[in-house]
């Protein structure tokens, strides 16, 4: 299909022009190709290893959560040049969706993880650039059981900071780097909070604010949205896709 048609659909579906994000995120099409898409690769990060694997698979569109320009305006030299040059040389367009993918109500990282946990989303919390970022729902399970289920979904056991009650009932989710939002989880009336990672001091936030915090890994918690988005466009446009897994362990 035509690249511009798919980009137009994605921009509208993800609301890239409406959802607040860091300026360096540059949500949307970051690098174009010759104008056609026949094979899609999806990944968390637009790093060199992922770009090289996408090329080996014959992809002509790479759809990622973290794009190329997080350092802001910089010369196209060194590794920045090598990434861009590889995309152009292999005819791979690059599309990035950061916060618009995190908080999307159907294929977002937060909603998909809630769905995988068997938790119905009841609401939103956690203000980020004018919009709520996280989802929350209700469960009634021991916190160790929730940790075990998270480990099954994400592929490795989460780090649990047992600051809240032994039995979890109101659980919030902000994938990625949400450790600074423990207070917002508490203020939303949540007793447990699932995210990817946080600072050293977030241990004391959890302990002193009375919230169970589950750190599942920044990378692991953000593999869900790009997969769900790929499945969505594959169903709608009959485009083959594959996931390029390049875990950081962080």
Residues 6 or more apart in contact with residue 245 via CB below 8 angstroms: 43, 223
Residues in the chain: 250
Instruction: Compute the distance between CA of residue 129 and CA of residue 62 in angstroms, rounded to an integer.
Output: 27
| pLDDT score for 10 | 98
Instruction: Compute the distance between CA of residue 67 and CA of residue 121 in angstroms, rounded to an integer.
Output: 28
Instruction: Compute the distance between CA of residue 172 and CA of residue 128 in angstroms, rounded to an integer.
Output: 15
Is residue 128 a contact partner of residue 192, using CB atoms and an 8 Å limit? no
Domain limits, the chain: 3-97, 109-221
Splitting the chain (250 residues) into consecutive groups of 10 residues, what average pLDDT does each group show?
98 96 95 97 98 98 96 92 98 98 97 96 93 95 98 97 98 97 98 98 98 98 98 97 97
- Of the candidates 92, 73, 95, the one whose C-alpha atom is nearest the C-alpha of residue 27 is 95
> Does 3-97 match 109-221 in CATH topology?
yes
Tell me how far the alpha carbon of residue 183 is from its chain's centroid: 21
| pLDDT score for 144 | 97
Q: What would the two tokens of residue 207 be?
A: 């302990």
Q: What would the two tokens of residue 204 be?
A: 């004391």
pLDDT in tens, 13-52: 999 999 999 999 999 999 999 999 999 999 999 999 999 9
Q: What is the topology classification, in CATH, of domain 3-97?
A: 3.40.1390
pTM as predicted:
0.96
Instruction: Compute the distance between CA of residue 177 and CA of residue 243 in angstroms, rounded to an integer.
Output: 22
Q: What would the two tokens of residue 155 be?
A: 């592929």
CATH superfamily of 109-221: NIF3 (NGG1p interacting factor 3)-like (3.40.1390.30)
| pLDDT score for 138 | 97
């Amino acid at each position: 299909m035509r690249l511009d048609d798919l980009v137009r659909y994605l921009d509208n579906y993800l609301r890239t022009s409406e959802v607040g994000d860091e300026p360096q995120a540059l949500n949307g099409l970051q690098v174009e190709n010759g104008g056609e898409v026949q094979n899609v690769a999806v990944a968390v990060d637009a790093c060199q290893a992922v770009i090289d694997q996408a090329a080996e698979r014959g992809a002509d569109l790479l759809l990622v959560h973290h794009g190329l320009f997080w350092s802001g305006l910089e010369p196209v030299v060194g590794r920045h040049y090598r990434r861009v040059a590889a995309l152009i040389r292999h005819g791979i367009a690059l599309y990035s969706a950061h916060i618009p993918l995190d908080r999307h109500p159907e294929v977002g990282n937060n909603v998909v993880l809630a769905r995988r946990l068997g938790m119905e989303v009841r609401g939103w919390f956690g203000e980020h650039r004018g919009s709520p970022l996280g989802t929350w729902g209700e469960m009634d399970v021991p916190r160790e059981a929730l940790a075990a289920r998270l480990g099954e979904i994400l592929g490795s056991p989460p780090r649990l900071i047992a600051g809240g009650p032994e039995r979890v009932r109101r659980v919030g989710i902000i994938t990625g780097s949400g450790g600074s939002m423990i207070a917002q989880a508490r203020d939303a009336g949540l007793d447990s909070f699932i995210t990817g990672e946080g600072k050293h001091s977030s241990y004391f936030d959890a302990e002193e604010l009375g919230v169970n915090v589950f750190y599942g890994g920044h990378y692991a918690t953000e593999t869900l949205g790009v997969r769900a988005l790929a499945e969505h466009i594959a169903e709608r446009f009959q485009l083959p896709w594959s996931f390029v897994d390049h875990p950081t362990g962080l």
